[in-house]
Amino acid sequence: MNLIRRSDLAIALLVSSMALPAVADTFTIRMISEDPNIEGDSTMVFDPPLLRVALGDTVIFEPVQSGHNTASKNGMIPEGVESWNSRIDETFEITFSVDGTYGYVCMPHYLVGMVGMILVGDYSVNLDDARAVRHRGHAKKAFKALFALVDAL
Ligand SMILES: [Cu+2]
């Protein structure tokens, strides 16, 4: 009995040490027109609107309802990183290989405040630059709320 337990432990340790170096997670951000299960403002939202991930992690934008896309916002992604602009209703995937703050919008619903932010690793790199970007309509209020959440981390 003792022997079996020991070998089980040995295998468990081996597996966990092998898995450790290359762990990368995948997260999903839902693109929503309306979801009564979300607390507060549930109309035209990314869910979750603020996401913190590690370098090497992948984010999948999932169009739960139609009419949405995801596009990086000019000035709100780290320098040298390629911008993105997905097709409407497309499931879109990004793997992050550069630390920083990533602000993005839904092009059709930017003015009603459908925006979001992803923090990758040491997100402070371009946080001030991202915060300095000016916005129109309800995007202004929405980004302000997101930066308040970031400041509270
Ligand atoms: Cu939208």
Q: What is the mean pLDDT of the chain?
A: 89
Checking if the pLDDT of 14 tops 70, the result is: no
Digit-coded pLDDT (tens) for 48-60: 999 999 999 999 9
Query: Would you tell me how many other CB atoms lie within 10 Å of the CB of residue 85?
Result: 12
Looking at residue 92, its pLDDT comes to: 98
Give 91 Cα–ligand 1 centroid separation in angstroms: 13
Domain 23-151, classified CATH 2.60.40.420, yes or no = yes
Instruction: Give the per-residue SS3 of 72-87.
Output: ECCCCCCCCCCCCECC
Lowest-pLDDT choice from 9-18, 45-54, 69-78? 9-18
Domain boundaries, the chain: 23-151
Give 31 Cα–ligand 1 centroid separation in angstroms: 7
How does DSSP classify residue 107?
G
Give 3 Cα–ligand 1 centroid separation in angstroms: 58
The better pLDDT of the pair 17, 96 is held by 96
Give 7 Cα–ligand 1 centroid separation in angstroms: 53
Token pair of 61 as six digits: 């934008």
Residue 42 confidence class, pLDDT cut points 50, 70, 90: confident
Token pair of 71 as six digits: 């596009």
Looking at residue 44, its pLDDT comes to: 94
Checking if the pLDDT of 144 tops 80, the result is: yes
Does the pTM of the predicted model rise above 0.95? no
